[in-house]
Amino acid sequence: MENESQHTSAMPRDFTFQLLKQITNDFSEDNRIGVGGYGLVYKGTLDSGEVIAVKKLYYKHPGLDSDKQFQNECTNLMRVRHQNIVRLVGYCHEIRHKCVEHNGKYVFAMVEDRALCFEYLEGGSLDKHLSGT
């Protein structure tokens, strides 16, 4: 059946957070194209000219559950191929330490950057198409 999901072995690219910052103009408001329950979506243009949608996920405390959830999401998105679902082209999952002030002291905190990168489709989001706006 033509509309059924298909599995594919195409591997998404592992993008660095620095590259995603660069192609979205440091996640600027001008590049923001959407807001969702799990993060903000930005338009980015790779050096090759390919335009992608970068979903910068909201920060969650690092841990086994959030790591497993992110891995499951990536794995599921990699396998699904359907004409009505945008294709996952890449991801970013980086953990770094940053010096911050906390209760009057400087401490090193763990900062986790996660993003999912999808093919970019013109025309806005599905909810806009459904509501006719």
Annotated binding site for ATP: 56
- Annotated binding-site residue numbers: 56
Q: Which residues are registered as beta bridge partners of 56?
A: 40, 115
Minimal CA–CA distance to 110: which of 94, 126, 125? 94
If we measure between CA atoms, which residue out of 68, 119, 76 comes closest to residue 93?
68
Cβ-contact 3, 79 below 8 angstroms: no
